[in-house]
Amino acid sequence: MQLRQLSIPDAYELTPTKREDDRGVFLEWYRFDDLEAAIGHPFTLRQANLSVSKRGVVRGIHYADIPPSQAKYVTVTHGAVLDYVIDIRVGSPAFGKWEAVRLDTETHRAVYLSEGLGHAFVALTDEATVAYLVSDVYNPGIEHGINPLDSEIGLVFPAEAGELLFSEKDREAPSLAEALAIEALPRWNEAVDYYQSLVEGS
C-alpha cells in the first residue's frame, strides 16, 4: 500500500496494490500497521458506516468536537466520488484550506483524516457507495456542519457531478466565518494535544 500525506496536516491518501488475473482483482483496502506507522498511533475502530448517493449529491462539510471527534478512513465500494478534506482547526497552518481526492473502484484509494478535520464528498456517479471506518460512535451532541457552498472555503465541484443536491441541514449550516465567530470550531492546539495523547496511550 502506498501512502501520501496530503497538503492538509494529519490527512493521508492510501492507494492499495491490486493483484489482477482472469478471475478478477484482489487488494487490501485497509492495513492497520501501515496506517499506524504513518499517524504514529493505532486507529481504533468503533463504528463502520455506509452511504449510497445519487450523482450530484453533496454530503458535508461535517466534523465533530475534539475530543474525541471522529477520525475517518474512507473508501468507495461502488461508483466514484470526489472526497474533500478541509482544515477547520483554528490556528492550524492550513486553516481554511482543503484538498480533494477522487475515490473510485478503479484505484480503490482511501482517505484517512484525523480528528477535528472537516469532511465532505460529492457523488460523481449514481449509487456511489462510500464506506467509512470511524474511531468513535456517532454522537449527535458533538456533531456539526459547515456550509459546503461557503465561498471563503471555495470547494470546487467538478462538472462530472452534474446538478448538485444538498440536504437542508447542510445547506443551512453556518459558514466558516460564522462557526469561527461562535467558537464552534476545533482548535489546532487541542487537536495536537489529543493526537499526542493517542500516541502516549498506544
Q: Number of folded domains in the chain?
A: 1
**Helical ranges in 59-166 per DSSP H:** none
pLDDT, one tens digit per residue, over 127-175 is 999 999 999 999 999 999 999 999 999 999 999 999 999 999 999 999 9
pTM of the model: 0.96
For 79, other C-beta atoms within 10 Å of its C-beta total: 19
CATH number of the domain at 138, please. 2.60.120.10
Question: Which positions are catalytic?
Answer: 62, 132
- For the residues 90-114, what does the mean pLDDT come to? 98
Q: Residue 195 corresponds to which cell in the numbers above?
A: 493526537
Question: Is the pLDDT at 108 greater than 80, yes or no?
Answer: yes
Structural domain for 26, as ranges: 2-201
Query: What is the tens place of the pLDDT at every residue in 23-62?
Result: 999 999 999 999 999 999 999 999 999 999 999 999 999 9
% of the chain residues with pLDDT over 70: 100
